[in-house]
Structure 1
Amino acid sequence: MNNPIDGDDAHSDTLVLFGVTGDLAAKKIFPALYAMCKHGTLNVPVVGVASSPWTTEQLRARARESIERDGVVDDPAALERLLGLLRYVSGNYNDSGTIDSLRQALGNARRPAFYLAIPPALFPAVNRGNGAAGLGAHARVIIEKPFGRDLASARELNRIALEVFSEDAIFRIDHFLGKEAIMNILYFRFANSFLEP
């Protein structure tokens, strides 16, 4: 679906992270967001949504802990910028009140990006809730693997996503898909002399 307001290439104006209190956020997403802040590529609000009864301050403490555990914090100003961007919405993904709270947290955001770092069983409720609330019109959705239990459930999840988002607004992510290839780059380089300068 094309966005008649600001074009297909418009950047998202808010990142909404469903499953923000989970393991994936702690181990991978918070360190990646910190790296983006260091490079100046993250300057939009990050709204975390989860069922944990946390506050925004507790979320910020979790993010700080995750980033510090991941490695050296060599840019404290970037870390503080990231923490300042974080907001939190607590609630059940199946509850329309949670989506209403999310809509309030989004404020004037017109083109959010929804990152679903949640179990596949929750994808339908989140996608349909966002759609029913009118939040999917100019949004993007990033769906973290696993994408279903089998081919039939993957097709069903895809059908539900397409009820709310256009195909070009759906991003299916498998952060381990290329891991083996990346781990073997040095071996590949040194095992093939034609790659040496």
Structure 2
Amino acid sequence: MIDRLVILGATGDLSARYLLPALAALRANGDLGDRFELTGASREDWDSERYRQWVTARLDRHGGDLPADARAAVANATRYVRADVTSPGDLASAIAGEGPVALYLALPPALFPVVITALHEAGLPEGSRIVLEKPFGENLADAQGLNRLLAELVPEQAVFRVDHFLAMTTVQNVLGSRLANRVLEPIWNSTHIAEVDIVWNETLALEGRAGYYDTVGALKDMVQNHLLQLLCLVAMEPPVTLGERDLRDRKVDVLRSVRLLTEDDVVRRTRRGRYLAGRVQGRDIPAYADEEGVDPRRRMETYAEVELELESWRWSGTTFRLRSGKALGTDRKEVAVRFRSVPHLPFGHTGEPLPNVLRFGLEPESLTFDLTGIGAHPHTLAPLSLTAQMAPPHLPAYGRLLLDVLNGDPSLSIRGDEAEEAWRVLTPVLDAWERDLVPLEEYPAGSEGLPPRPCGGGQQRRGELLYAEAAPPADAP
């Protein structure tokens, strides 16, 4: 286990909200010993004492539920180095010490190439590891270039392209539910599953993150990484083990099986939009174009939706719909697996059969199975929902990721070829959106997002996965 962690960009929001509380959680759990050292490197003109005060304040704010002695231990194990992260000399000072180091790039992804190039000159102790946050590059060519730079610096096994979604309990439970229950795996295919909605819709707007978000947008921020990773776990073949090679091989298989969208497909099967002014949970939200730090000329989207198909024996004929939006009226964060309707109903019911839906709630974490039973009126059907709340996670998602980094287990990180395949899937969408082949629609903040596309015949839009008790027939008492 490596006992030295260096965070580049150590005074940023990622460190304050997630990395520091995760380290305190590891300490409270007994996973970090007294030999552990944390080095924070950033451009602020601070010394180590000033940084410890900042760490203590952030831990009190974002990790106040953790034991005080664990928080104090993390703060006391900290030193600070003022550094220009593009300077080889400054980087050499940050990583100075005995033994290998885990180097966490808590930086804007645009800085990754120049920082990695500087690390080539600074040098890394043998056995060191590098951690990078998503998105990994800005396009396929960027990802390929980063992979080449990293390959010259450290072995692939030492590169951790982390995605904290993979460490969330419910995300892990997608595999657990599939592979540990005989009742599910035999019907986990296109014969029985019509479509899968992978959704991360949130009430949060920009919340001061325009500097990052306005250069990325919903497609790159959520769909290209988080939601494609969820697609992999839903659609992958059962791995021989959950070891890093078997698990990541099967995820790459899924991405390779995605049928690339043509221009016509992109027009028909993708949507993009951004929010107008509105009210979200009692708060006035300005239009995205009027948010501080936003350049309206970029026409950046805050809502993205993509429909994909897999060219594989198991999934041919099933639609996978990935979507994410900001400043919406309600949070909806789930994987919803919609099974095909039964072939015949003997109840005299005249409406459409209600589908069974298995929902993996991501935040809050839950598992719900929507079934159908007899309604209050004769010859009618009504929804039945079986819900299980998940036990609190043993560690927060970032705690699990950091523990894997320090222990050298890359199972939950993204392999280099996997990162490239994810960009390959979305390259046709990015190209078409760049040329405005898909209109940038608008929706009021606080609404449910883009209005449904007309389906004809008054039918509800596919993919909403909503239930309503069937109305009784006209001759019902």
Secondary structure of the equivalent of 1:128?
helix
Residue in 2 that maps onto 1:61: 53
**8 Å CA contact retained: 1:99, 1:130:** yes
- The whole-number CA distance in structure 1 between the counterparts of 2:97 and 2:387 is 56
Match of 1:49 among 30, 35, 41: 41
- Which blocks of at least 5 consecutive residues in structure 2 are unaligned? 166-225, 231-332, 335-359, 371-384, 390-477
Distance apart, 1:59 and its partner CA? 1.6
Residues 56 and 186 of structure 1: is their aligned pair in 2 closer, same or farther, counting only changes over 3 Å?
same
Distance apart, 1:174 and its partner CA? 2.0
Is it true that 1:183 corresponds to 2:173 in the alignment?
no
Residues 171 and 186 of structure 1: is their aligned pair in 2 closer, same or farther, counting only changes over 3 Å?
same
Residue in 2 that maps onto 1:33: 23
Is it true that 1:144 corresponds to 2:133 in the alignment?
yes
Runs of 4+ aligned residues of structure 1 deviating over 6 Å after TM superposition are none
- The whole-number CA distance in structure 1 between the counterparts of 2:387 and 2:50 is 52
**8 Å CA contact retained: 1:73, 1:79:** no
- The whole-number CA distance in structure 2 between the counterparts of 1:19 and 1:188 is 39
**8 Å CA contact retained: 1:114, 1:140:** yes
**8 Å CA contact retained: 1:130, 1:136:** no
Residues 194 and 25 of structure 1: is their aligned pair in 2 closer, same or farther, counting only changes over 3 Å?
closer
- The whole-number CA distance in structure 1 between the counterparts of 2:47 and 2:369 is 48
Residues 168 and 71 of structure 1: is their aligned pair in 2 closer, same or farther, counting only changes over 3 Å?
closer
Counterpart AA for 2:27: C
Distance apart, 1:69 and its partner CA? 1.2
Secondary structure of the equivalent of 2:130?
strand
**8 Å CA contact retained: 1:47, 1:88:** yes
Residues 186 and 90 of structure 1: is their aligned pair in 2 closer, same or farther, counting only changes over 3 Å?
same
Residue in 2 that maps onto 1:15: 5
Is it true that 1:81 corresponds to 2:73 in the alignment?
yes
- The whole-number CA distance in structure 1 between the counterparts of 2:91 and 2:388 is 56
Distance apart, 1:36 and its partner CA? 1.0
Aligned residues: 182
Residue in 2 that maps onto 1:96: 88
CA displacement 1:23-76 (0-9 Å, x = unmatched): 111111111111111112123101111112122122212211211112434522
**8 Å CA contact retained: 2:103, 2:129:** yes
- The whole-number CA distance in structure 2 between the counterparts of 1:54 and 1:81 is 20
- The whole-number CA distance in structure 1 between the counterparts of 2:52 and 2:111 is 24
- The whole-number CA distance in structure 1 between the counterparts of 2:75 and 2:369 is 39
Residue in 2 that maps onto 1:122: 111
Distance apart, 1:126 and its partner CA? 2.4
- The whole-number CA distance in structure 1 between the counterparts of 2:367 and 2:53 is 39
> Which structure dedicates a bigger proportion of its chain to strand?
2
- The whole-number CA distance in structure 2 between the counterparts of 1:132 and 1:189 is 55
- The whole-number CA distance in structure 2 between the counterparts of 1:184 and 1:107 is 41
**8 Å CA contact retained: 2:15, 2:106:** yes
**8 Å CA contact retained: 1:53, 1:91:** no
Secondary structure of the equivalent of 2:152?
helix
- The whole-number CA distance in structure 2 between the counterparts of 1:63 and 1:20 is 10
Is it true that 1:111 corresponds to 2:291 in the alignment?
no
Is it true that 1:72 corresponds to 2:71 in the alignment?
no
Is it true that 1:163 corresponds to 2:155 in the alignment?
no
Counterpart AA for 1:145: K
**8 Å CA contact retained: 1:18, 1:118:** yes
Counterpart AA for 2:155: S
Residues 194 and 185 of structure 1: is their aligned pair in 2 closer, same or farther, counting only changes over 3 Å?
closer
- The whole-number CA distance in structure 2 between the counterparts of 1:160 and 1:183 is 36
Whose relative contact order is higher, 1 or 2, with alpha carbons under 8 Å and at least 6 apart? 1
Secondary structure of the equivalent of 1:164?
coil
**8 Å CA contact retained: 2:43, 2:83:** yes
Counterpart AA for 1:132: E
Q: Normalising to structure 1: TM-score of the pair?
A: 0.81
- The whole-number CA distance in structure 2 between the counterparts of 1:45 and 1:71 is 19
Residue in 1 that maps onto 2:122: 133
Distance apart, 1:184 and its partner CA? 5.9
Is it true that 1:154 corresponds to 2:143 in the alignment?
yes
Secondary structure of the equivalent of 1:88?
strand
% identity of equivalent residues = 35
Greater Rg over alpha carbons, structure: 2
- The whole-number CA distance in structure 2 between the counterparts of 1:49 and 1:193 is 45
- The whole-number CA distance in structure 2 between the counterparts of 1:148 and 1:26 is 24
Distance apart, 1:144 and its partner CA? 0.8
CA displacement 1:64-93 (0-9 Å, x = unmatched): 121111243452221121111111111211
Residue in 2 that maps onto 1:3: none
**Cα RMSD (Å) of the superposition?**
2.4
